[in-house]
């Protein structure tokens, strides 16, 4: 057993209000310079929807993540070394600029310099890449609040199978929830394996995945290999950039910027101990629906004396062991099992997990003519919620509705129990026993999900001073690029653009 530590995150989707504060603060901290105007290390998507970049979840098209070959071995969907070598200078499996959006600025000078006239002057949009006038037709949050649902949401790759016919994008039938996304800092990152120059690396001390800007040659294989499409190309420097998990803050024992500024207090940060020797075996699990259990099996119990002894032998500091013991991420993902990974079928073993949203279950009970105090009626209503179980299962459980249904039933039982206690009752423990919770565990879980304080949500151990020299040697490899000095249109530093533009489509039998 080789014990390693990983900083991980859980997000409670019931609390996300889609305010995009996390996206804005991340943008201002990490991507507020030339070359990454289109890059959102953290973005909030409305589901159902095609996401950002468009249809990034369609791995038949983009070839992201891992798959099993005929011998049951893990292979990159984007191909082996020889296949990547052949596409080194012309990679067909890259999102085009139109799949993101063309970054724009505005001609604000026109507001001041326009001559007097009858019409009000306006600041017209101009492309940051070319400086020419352009039209805004897409963006990172174009579908916010289902704004573009009638035209776009039906193309969501998760809406597949016969069950998708029940989803109707009509005023009284539609549903939505917000899904914040950032780099998953996976245990088995495909981007690291696909990088020809070795620029992508996973830090040994805390598992954060970074890009060495000095080694990066802009081959863009990492963009293809990442199934979440959270690696971006800086079109000014020609190099890859991605979410850094705010490692300078984490090293100081502080939460990430997106977590610190989250209005809904839906994010949890903590440390997980895992057996590095079992990662490959877990990722190669034959049945996709078993990947969740096998990944949880990789995580180690921080209370186990044997695990703690092995961790000490591996060099994990004592205060990190204590942080792992108090980790809210371990509680939500493993101990209580209410947090689930995003698309486990990609086999990257993601380390940003989600508590799935619970629709108003008591309304569903009443609509079906059931008794809200009867656990059987309440549990039965979980299968008839406004957000289809099948859709949530496609996102968080490789299509296994039993997994998602079990989590929602546990959350439903917890709500019913705490609701009765808040109204002065003792709480009916029947529903709790049915989902495997004791009253004490229910109160602890409720405290963590509903009213956890700052110190309980963010348990981030600081880096050790005695490791400063080693960290400095590694972090001299700058993970964030700087644009070159020559300025492009509108005063933005530009290099050779490496974000492809899609060629105009040619109608059948005609010219473009």
Report yes or no on 130 lying in a domain.
Answer: no
Whether 273 and 352 share a structural domain = yes
Report yes or no on 311 lying in a domain.
Answer: yes
Whether 286 and 428 share a structural domain = yes
User: Which pLDDT belongs to residue 473?
Assistant: 54
Report yes or no on 504 lying in a domain.
Answer: no
CATH of the domain at 323: 3.30.70
pLDDT-based confidence at residue 153 (cuts at 50, 70, 90) = confident
Whether 216 and 276 share a structural domain = no
DSSP string, 221-250: HHHHH-TT--EEEETTTTEEEE--TTHHHH
Inform me whether the pLDDT recorded for 475 exceeds 70: no
Residue among 434, 266, 453, 265 nearest 355 (CA): 266
User: Which pLDDT belongs to residue 9?
Assistant: 98
Report yes or no on 163 lying in a domain.
Answer: yes
Contact by Cβ (8 Å): 497, 94: no
Whether 337 and 299 share a structural domain = yes
* Residues above pLDDT 70, as percent of the chain: 86
User: Which pLDDT belongs to residue 436?
Assistant: 92
Report yes or no on 244 lying in a domain.
Answer: yes
Q: Are strands 43-47 and 66-68 parallel, antiparallel or unpaired?
A: unpaired
Give me the residue label for tokens 């977590």: 259
Task: Kindly compute the dihedral angle of the four CA atoms of residues 26, 29, 33, 37, in this order, to the nearest 10 degrees.
Answer: 0
Contact by Cβ (8 Å): 341, 353: yes
CATH of the domain at 144: 3.30.70.20
List the beta bridge partners of residue 46: 178
470: which DSSP letter? H
Whether 244 and 381 share a structural domain = no
pLDDT-based confidence at residue 166 (cuts at 50, 70, 90) = confident
26: alpha, beta or left? (left if phi > 0; alpha if psi -120 to 50): alpha
Per residue in 202-249, pLDDT tens? 999 999 999 999 999 999 999 999 999 999 999 999 999 999 999 999
Whether 449 and 429 share a structural domain = yes
Average pLDDT over residues 478-507: 41
Report yes or no on 60 lying in a domain.
Answer: yes
313: alpha, beta or left? (left if phi > 0; alpha if psi -120 to 50): alpha
Average model confidence (pLDDT) across the chain: 86
Report yes or no on 62 lying in a domain.
Answer: yes
Whether 247 and 371 share a structural domain = no
Inform me whether the pLDDT recorded for 483 exceeds 60: no
Whether 222 and 280 share a structural domain = no
Residue among 223, 22, 437 nearest 30 (CA): 22
Inform me whether the pLDDT recorded for 331 exceeds 60: yes
493: which DSSP letter? B
Whether 274 and 317 share a structural domain = yes
CA separation (Å) from 397 to 71, 189, 287? 24, 19, 12
pTM > 0.75: yes or no: yes
Average pLDDT over residues 41-55: 93
Look at 32-36, 152-156, 160-164 and tell me which has the smallest mean pLDDT.
Answer: 160-164
User: Which pLDDT belongs to residue 194?
Assistant: 94
Distance CA 327, CA 456 (A): 8
User: Which pLDDT belongs to residue 90?
Assistant: 79
User: Which pLDDT belongs to residue 479?
Assistant: 60
Whether 270 and 219 share a structural domain = no
Contact by Cβ (8 Å): 428, 375: yes
Q: Could you give the number of structural domains in the chain?
A: 2
Distance CA 52, CA 140 (A): 6
Per residue in 34-44, pLDDT tens? 899 999 999 99
Whether 442 and 480 share a structural domain = no
Max distance between CA atoms of the chain, in angstroms, equals 80
pLDDT-based confidence at residue 428 (cuts at 50, 70, 90) = confident
Inform me whether the pLDDT recorded for 77 exceeds 60: yes
pLDDT-based confidence at residue 187 (cuts at 50, 70, 90) = very high
List the beta bridge partners of residue 11: 267, 354
Query: Domain residues for 237?
Result: 17-101+137-253+475-491
Q: Are strands 200-202 and 209-211 parallel, antiparallel or unpaired?
A: antiparallel
User: Which pLDDT belongs to residue 45?
Assistant: 94
User: Which pLDDT belongs to residue 55?
Assistant: 94
Distance CA 78, CA 92 (A): 10
Whether 220 and 350 share a structural domain = no
Report yes or no on 197 lying in a domain.
Answer: yes
User: Which pLDDT belongs to residue 420?
Assistant: 85
Give me the residue label for tokens 């990722």: 283
Burial of 493 (0-12, 13-18, 19+ CB in 10 A): middle
Give me the residue label for tokens 């159902």: 48
Give me the residue label for tokens 């209005």: 263
Burial of 267 (0-12, 13-18, 19+ CB in 10 A): buried
């Amino acid at each position: 057993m080789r014990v390693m530590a990983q900083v991980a995150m859980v997000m409670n989707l019931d609390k996300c209000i889609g305010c995009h504060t996390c996206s804005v603060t991340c943008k201002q901290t990490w991507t507020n310079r030339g070359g990454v105007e289109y890059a959102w290390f953290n973005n909030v998507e409305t589901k159902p929807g095609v996401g950002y970049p468009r249809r990034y979840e369609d791995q038949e098209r983009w070839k992201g993540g891992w798959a099993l070959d005929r011998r049951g071995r893990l292979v990159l969907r984007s191909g082996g070394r020889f296949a990547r070598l052949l596409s080194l200078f012309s990679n067909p499996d890259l999102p085009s600029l139109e799949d993101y959006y063309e970054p724009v600025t505005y001609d604000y000078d026109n507001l001041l310099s326009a001559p007097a006239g009858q019409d009000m002057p306006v600041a017209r949009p101009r492309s940051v890449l070319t400086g020419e006038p352009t039209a805004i037709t897409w963006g990172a949050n174009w579908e916010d609040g289902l704004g573009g649902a009638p035209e776009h949401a039906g193309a969501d790759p998760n809406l597949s199978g016969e069950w998708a016919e029940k989803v109707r994008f009509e005023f009284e039938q539609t549903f939505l929830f917000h899904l914040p996304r950032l780099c998953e800092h996976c245990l088995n990152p495909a981007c690291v394996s696909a990088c020809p120059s070795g620029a992508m690396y996973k830090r040994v001390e805390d598992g954060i995945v970074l890009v060495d800007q000095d080694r990066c040659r802009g081959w863009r294989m990492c963009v293809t290999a990442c199934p979440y499409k959270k690696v971006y190309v800086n079109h000014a420097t020609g190099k890859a950039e991605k979410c850094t998990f705010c490692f300078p803050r984490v090293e100081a024992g502080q939460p990430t910027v997106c977590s610190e500024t989250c209005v809904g207090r839906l994010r949890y940060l903590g440390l997980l101990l895992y057996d590095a020797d079992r990662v490959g075996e877990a990722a190669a699990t034959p049945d996709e629906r078993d990947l969740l259990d096998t990944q949880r099996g990789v995580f180690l119990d921080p209370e186990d004396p044997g695990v703690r002894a092995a961790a000490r032998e591996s060099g994990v500091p004592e205060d990190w062991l204590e942080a792992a013991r108090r980790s809210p991420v371990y509680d939500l993902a493993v101990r209580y099992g209410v947090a689930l990974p995003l698309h486990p079928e990609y086999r990257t073993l993601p380390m940003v997990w989600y508590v799935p949203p619970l629709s108003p279950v008591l309304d569903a009970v009443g609509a079906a003519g059931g008794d809200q105090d009867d656990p059987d009626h309440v549990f039965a209503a979980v299968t008839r919620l406004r957000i289809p179980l099948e859709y949530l299962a496609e996102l968080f459980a490789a299509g296994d509705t039993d997994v998602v249904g079990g989590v929602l039933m546990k959350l439903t039982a917890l709500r019913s129990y705490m609701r009765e206690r808040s109204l002065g009752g003792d709480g009916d423990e029947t529903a709790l026993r049915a989902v495997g919770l004791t009253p004490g565990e229910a109160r602890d879980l409720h405290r963590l999900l509903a009213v956890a304080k700052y110190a309980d949500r963010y348990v981030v151990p600081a880096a050790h001073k005695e490791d400063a020299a080693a960290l400095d040697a590694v972090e001299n490899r700058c993970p964030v690029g700087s644009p070159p000095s020559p300025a492009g249109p509108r005063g933005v530093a530009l290099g050779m653009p490496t974000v492809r533009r899609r060629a105009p489509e040619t109608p059948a039998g005609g010219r473009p």
